[in-house]
Structure 1
Amino acid sequence: MPLDAVRPSPLVEQAAARLREQITGGHWPVGTKLPGETTLAAELGVGRSTVREALRALAGAGLVRPRQGAGVFVIAAEAAEDWPTRLRRAAVTDLYEVRMLVEVQAARLAAERRTPEDVTALEDALAGRRAAAAGDDAAFVDADIALHAAVVAAAHNPVLTDLFAEFTPSLREGLIEMLALVGARAHDPGTGDAAHAALVRAVADGDGAAAGEVLRGDLERTWTLLREGGRA
């Protein structure tokens, strides 16, 4: 089956998509050596550098692997699911179990490493959460996540910060649905305010043990609500 020439812009993405179709469609089974860059470039109507970048993208997706001096070989018929996709498909209760592990440690580190600027950011985030209590569930969840993000940021560990950011979209969706389902804010619009105030105070005071325990308790309560709400 010949390859159709691609249209300009973005060439690399189009070339990668065409090659991916050949692999996932079975034209090049697992174990097959792909045609050389010159051949692929001619069939796709692009330059060799574009083909090279497209093959690099397919290698990153786990579909092909270059072998020194031998060429590029197909190693899988389906692309490996990337981390953001896996997070989007995960149950929010599963995300929460991981979140507890990550954030509790982040809170302890934050209490050890916080700067005066971090404390100000935490106090501002707490004030923002309290102000958002008058708004809808989405606004409240955004403010709540912003406070938790400020705690993680105060740990001054870029890996923790990036990991929490990866969780955020899926957590946000699950929390908004949970609040609507169980009506947690019906009688307490700022639900969890005391716990969050205690968390900020513990971090500001440099009490890592207290910060970790306060946050663990708050997250466990939310995790229980999520399970009772049928999100397990």
Structure 2
Amino acid sequence: MALKTAGRTSLVDSVVEQLRSQLADGEWAVGDRIPTEHELAQQLGVGRNTVREAVRVLVHSGLLESRQGNGTFVRSTADPAAVLQGVRHAGARDVLELRAALEAEAARLAAVRRDTHDLLRLRAALATLREEGDRDADADLAFHLAVVEATHNAAFREVYRFFSTQVHEVLVDALGDREMPPVDIDLHEAVVVAVEQGDAEAAEAGARELLRVPMETLAALAEERKGEAR
């Protein structure tokens, strides 16, 4: 089935919706590689940059997966938009508490199940985090995804990837113009060491400690707002 040509307004949104419709209608099955950016751009009558941005949206939504050098593949035909919308509407404290639960359990399992490849990936993610700086959200997410990968639990991996892309957005909205707390590189290092040593308790505790400062920041902000409301 050919894709309908996108209109002149909201091109990215239009392409996103058309691709979602194609996925829901079974145009491509889970595991299939979708057409290239060039092919989609020709079918839609839009530029490749528009297609690239639309695909990026669907990757973050969990519907597609980009594989370096291989193309973009279908991860799911079930649109998670409704669930993600619910996450956006949840309070920042709720989101952080859920993140703490997920990441603490992931670190515990990683310490028990990690293999040599996992440890190399964790060290590489930590090195990137150091290089990119303590406020690089993408590098921080890549680190935590490496921890989750080390659990060797496919269900855990999918749930975390589905959820984690929304966390930063929720926290930025909650803190407004205030700066997000910087990433603590030393605490990330401690988690890696605990996983390397197979110390499940230390890994779990370290993962929870990583989120202590953001949670304290939010709590302080909530108290400040209460005072302003009086």
> By the TM > 0.5 criterion, same fold?
yes
Query: What's the counterpart of residue 129 of structure 1?
Result: 129
Percent identity (aligned): 32
What do residues 174-204 of structure 1 show as CA deviations (whole Å, max 9, x unaligned)? 345649614634xxxxx41111000001011
Preserved CA contact (<8 Å) 1:95 1:167? no
Measured in 1, the distance between the counterparts of 2:93 and 2:147 equals 21
Q: Does 1:106 align with 2:106?
A: yes
Aligned counterparts of 2:181 and 2:211: Cα–Cα separation in 1: 14
Q: Kindly state the Cα deviation for residue 229 of structure 1 after the two structures are TM-superposed.
A: 3.6
The structural deviation recorded for 1:210 is: 0.5
Q: Which runs of 4+ in 1 moved over 4 A?
A: 175-180
Match of 1:86 in 2: 86
Q: How many residues end up aligned between the 2 structures?
A: 150
> 1:227 aligned to 2:219?
yes
Superposed counterparts of 1:40-79, under 5 Å: none
Equivalent residue in structure 2 for 1:160, among 156, 160, 165: 156
**Residues of 2 paired with 1:13 and 1:141: CA distance?**
31
From 144, 147, 152, the counterpart of 2:140: 144
Alignment partner of 1:210 is 2:202: yes
1:143 positional shift: 0.7
Q: Which residue of 2 aligns with 1:47?
A: none
- Are 1:142 and 1:172, in contact at CA under 8 Å, matched by a contact in 2? no
Q: Shift in Å at residue 88 of structure 1?
A: 2.2
What letter matches 1:92 in structure 2?
Answer: A
Structure 1 distance, partners of 2:95, 2:219, is 12
Deviation at 1:160, TM superposition (A): 1.3
Q: What runs of 5+ residues in structure 2 fail to find an aligned partner?
A: 5-17, 25-80, 226-230
Contact 1:105 1:212 in 2 (8 A): yes
Q: TM-score, normalised by structure 1?
A: 0.57
How far does residue 13 in structure 1 lie from its aligned partner after superposition? 5.0
Equivalent in the alignment of 1:67: none
Tell me the residue number matched to 1:48: none
Whether the 8 Å contact between 1:182 and 1:225 is mirrored in structure 2 is no
Which residue number in structure 1 is paired with residue 95 of structure 2?
95
The equivalent of 1:52 in structure 2 is none
Q: Tell me which residue corresponds to 1:181.
A: 178
TM-score, normalisation: structure 2: 0.57
Instruction: Give how far 1:91 is off.
Output: 2.0
CA separation of 1:180/1:147 partners in 2, compared to 1, >3 Å: closer, same or farther?
farther
Distance, in Å, in 1 between the alignment partners of 2:193 and 2:117 is 14
Gaps of at least 5 residues in structure 1 are 1-7, 17-80, 186-190
Q: Which amino acid aligns with 2:181?
A: A
Query: What is the CA–CA distance in structure 2 between the aligned matches of 1:97 and 1:215, rounded to whole Å?
Result: 12
